[in-house]
Copies of this chain bind each other. A is one copy, B any other.
Amino acid sequence: MGPALIHFADRLQSAVRRCRNPVLVGLDPRKESLPEGLWKSRGTEMTDPAAIAAAYRRFCCEVLDVVAPLVPTIKPQMAFFEQLGPAGSAALAEVVSYARQKGLIVILDGKRGDIGTTAAAYAAGLLDTEQPGGWKADATTVNPYLGDDGVEPFIEVAARSGGGAFVLVKTSNRGSGMFQDLLVGGRPLFHYVAEYVERRALETRGKCGYGLVGAVVGATYPEQLAHLRTLMPHTIFLVPGYGSQGATAKDVAAAFDANGGGAIINNARGIIFAHTLKPYSERYGPTNWQRAVEAATLDMIAQLRAETPAGKLA
């Protein structure tokens, strides 16, 4: 890591303290949920990938205009852009660049994972600030199924680029138990992933005490979340599942350290598509969708401050 680089965990913790909240806004654009007016032919089926990608770019940038003054970090979901082919890739690159210009920490959610040299290509593309044409995100998500030599290239590139890598430990979906919860010597598989991640977090920790290796831990399993917090004291948690997936502020409280640090809480649909959800849909209507985004973000911040250690940030 060069002398000019600030450690990822220190940057993230500092951004959370500056914004006084740990909200991670997920950018998961879906054609069917975009607000009216974002394309001309609203109501008809769009089939031009370039037009859909342009609508995603504009929508995401207009979401960023609202949330950039409020939250520390955002997470574009690569799947929804990749779905559109090359036009989607171009739109995603513009969204990442716009977010970074606004000072947001960008976690590009790709859940990539491959064997050594191929993982190194993903890592370079996603995180390396010197990679020609690369995505230049601050951090990414990584799938651990391939083992340590599939994860280490992400850690190496993150270390030299001032970036971070969040490894999937326990995901928020219903089916996550199928393999992640299988018992190995009386303990679930995801504990073994957790131990590896915590070891690498400890070995890569910054001034704040947290490592540049983080963990994805779903909010939909609050007891497991609490246990993982004790198992992984040097690991920042990226917590999905809040809002649309059913988890509440109380459910995520155990993700934080005593000072309200150590965790970022993701909400995608509950914020970016607030214009489709009560009470925001009634209060603002579809044309004031950006006010719905703002209100949903502020409500989430207030809920986290009221119900979790993140209240200490306020």
By a beta-carbon cutoff of 8 Å, the part of chain A in contact with chain B is 28, 46-50, 52-53, 77, 79-80, 82-90, 92-93, 111-116, 118-119, 121-122, 124-125, 131-135, 143-150, 168, 171-180, 182-185, 189, 192-193, 196, 240
Known A111-B113, A115-B172, A179-B147; judge A133-B52 contact (CB<8 A): yes
User: In the complex, how many angstroms separate the beta carbon of A11 from the nearest chain B beta carbon?
Assistant: 23
| A93 neighbours in B (Cβ, 8 Å) | 85-86
Known A111-B113, A148-B175, A173-B146; judge A47-B132 contact (CB<8 A): yes
User: In the complex, how many angstroms separate the beta carbon of A309 from the nearest chain B beta carbon?
Assistant: 26
> Considering only CB atoms, which chain B residue lies closest to A128 in the complex?
B83
Q: Are A133 and B175 in contact (CB under 8 A)?
A: no
| A178 neighbours in B (Cβ, 8 Å) | 147-148, 196
Given contacts A84-B133, A116-B175, A146-B171, 13 further A-B contacts (CB under 8 A): A28-B118, A48-B132, A53-B133, A85-B133, A86-B86, A86-B93, A115-B172, A115-B173, A115-B176, A145-B179, A147-B177, A150-B175, A189-B189
Cα A48 to Cα B131 with chains together (Å)? 10
Q: Are A180 and B86 in contact (CB under 8 A)?
A: no
Cα A77 to Cα B116 with chains together (Å)? 13
Q: Are B196 and A133 in contact (CB under 8 A)?
A: no
Q: Are B173 and A149 in contact (CB under 8 A)?
A: yes
Q: Are B173 and A87 in contact (CB under 8 A)?
A: no
Interface centre among A50, A53, A88, A143 (most CB of B within 10 A): A143
| A53 neighbours in B (Cβ, 8 Å) | 133
Cα A114 to Cα B90 with chains together (Å)? 22
| A189 neighbours in B (Cβ, 8 Å) | 179, 182, 184, 189
> Considering only CB atoms, which chain B residue lies closest to A173 in the complex?
B115
Q: Are A171 and B85 in contact (CB under 8 A)?
A: no
Residue from B84, B88, B145, B147 in contact with A143 in the complex, judged by beta carbons closer than 8 Å: B145
Cα A127 to Cα B196 with chains together (Å)? 34
Interface centre among A53, A144, A196 (most CB of B within 10 A): A144
User: In the complex, how many angstroms separate the beta carbon of A241 from the nearest chain B beta carbon?
Assistant: 9
Q: Are B80 and A121 in contact (CB under 8 A)?
A: yes
